[in-house]
């Protein structure tokens, strides 16, 4: 095995656009195809979408030591250089995994650990595309505001999206300011079209500040009017049920 051709793998959380990152994704796909590891349809779909990005497949070399020209070319190349299959076989595998009905529990992960989850590259970037107006200029502070992350974490996401070619430096504002690229919009559009209907229509969790006023502002921003009315009703009922016990404890 040619070490220089195959390269040294890193992890999926490595810097996107690097050979180590691209090789880590390829190894994930190879392992699923060989049934060495088990993945669900969403994971496999996310790895597939990242592998289809030029920032990924162009970092990988074929048996002649030349970069792959397309995702399809990478698929057809025999292992260990490629995936050893037609791209449609991966689509069929994804469909098969998605048709398997399994119950799973969604949990909130640490935002920094989320950087290694391939589906989050698209999920979180879709929030930027949805929130920002055409050609709006972004910086890490704005990204942090949209994702509700600290500046340092927002900066990590910004770097990964820039390496993928989804963000580029703003020509009008200069260093530190960025714009969403057309390739970024296309990548998110393709990913969203493949998601089950209604899956991304609502958040599974909301981070609420301890300050009552800021908590109220966050809830108003995050929920529809009818949802807020239901929350108000449930909180009122909860206070009504617990008020007697509360005052007994004080006495």
Phi (first) and psi of residue 106, to 5 degrees:
-85, 130
Q: Please tell me which of 84-88, 174-178, 196-200, 223-227 the model is most confident about, judged by mean pLDDT.
A: 84-88
135 Ramachandran zone, left/alpha/beta (phi>0; psi -120 to 50): left
CB atoms within 10 A of CB 70: 13
Return the CATH class of domain 113-193.
mainly alpha
More confident residue, 13 or 173: 173
pLDDT at 69 over 90: yes
Burial of 108 (0-12, 13-18, 19+ CB in 10 A): exposed
134 Ramachandran zone, left/alpha/beta (phi>0; psi -120 to 50): beta
Stretch(es) of the chain classified as CATH 1.10.10.10: 113-193
pLDDT tens digits, one per residue of 118-136: 777 888 899 899 888 888 9
pLDDT at residue 121, as a whole number: 84
- What mean pLDDT comes out for the span 76-104? 84
What is the maximum span of the chain, computed from C-alpha positions, in angstroms? 82
pLDDT at 192 over 90: no
Spell out a b/e string for 34-65, using b for 16 or more CB atoms within 10 Å of the CB, else e: eeeeebebbbbbbbbbbbbbbbbbbbbbbeee
- What mean pLDDT comes out for the span 1-30? 72
- What mean pLDDT comes out for the span 233-237? 82
Contact 151, 140 (CB under 8 A): yes
138 - beta bridge partners?
178
* CA distances (Å), origin 57, targets 24, 50, 66, 110, 148: 11, 9, 11, 29, 32
Q: Is residue 101 helix, strand or coil?
A: coil
Enter the tokens of residue 218. 């966050």
Per DSSP (E only), the strands in the chain are 167-170, 174-180
Tell me the pTM: 0.58
> Which has the closest alpha carbon to 162: 141, 179, 187, 137?
179
pLDDT at 92 over 70: yes
pLDDT at 245 over 70: no
pLDDT at residue 200, as a whole number: 46
- Least confident stretch, 121-135, 181-195, 208-222: 208-222
* Whole-number percent of the chain with pLDDT over 70: 77
pLDDT at residue 173, as a whole number: 85
d(CA 77, CA 25) in angstroms, rounded, equals 16
Handedness of CA 12, 13, 15, 16 (dihedral sign): positive
pLDDT at residue 207, as a whole number: 58
Q: Is residue 61 helix, strand or coil?
A: strand
């Amino acid at each position: 095995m040619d070490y220089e051709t195959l390269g040294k793998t890193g992890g999926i959380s490595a810097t996107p656009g690097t050979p180590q990152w691209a090789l880590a994704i390829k190894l994930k796909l190879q392992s699923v195809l060989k049934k060495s590891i088990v993945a669900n349809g969403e994971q496999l779909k996310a790895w597939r979408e990242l592998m289809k990005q030029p920032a990924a497949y162009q970092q990988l070399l074929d048996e002649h030591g030349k970069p792959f020209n397309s995702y399809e070319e990478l698929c057809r190349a025999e292992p260990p250089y490629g995936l050893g299959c037609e791209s449609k076989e991966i689509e069929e595998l994804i469909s098969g995994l998605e048709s398997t009905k399994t119950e799973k529990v969604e949990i909130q992960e640490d935002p920094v650990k989320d950087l290694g989850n391939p589906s989050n590259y698209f999920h979180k970037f879709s929030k930027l595309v949805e929130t920002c107006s055409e050609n709006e200029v972004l910086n890490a502070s704005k990204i942090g505001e949209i994702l509700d992350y600290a500046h340092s974490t927002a900066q990590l996401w910004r770097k990964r999206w820039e390496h993928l070619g989804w963000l580029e430096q703003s020509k009008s504002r200069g260093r530190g300011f960025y714009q969403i690229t057309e390739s970024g919009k296309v990548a998110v559009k393709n990913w969203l079209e493949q998601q089950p209907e209604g899956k991304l229509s609502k958040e599974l969790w909301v981070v609420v500040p301890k300050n009552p006023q800021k908590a109220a502002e966050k809830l108003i921003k995050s929920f529809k009017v009818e949802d807020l009315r239901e929350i108000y009703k449930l909180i009122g009922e909860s206070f009504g049920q617990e008020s007697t016990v509360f005052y007994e404890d004080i006495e």
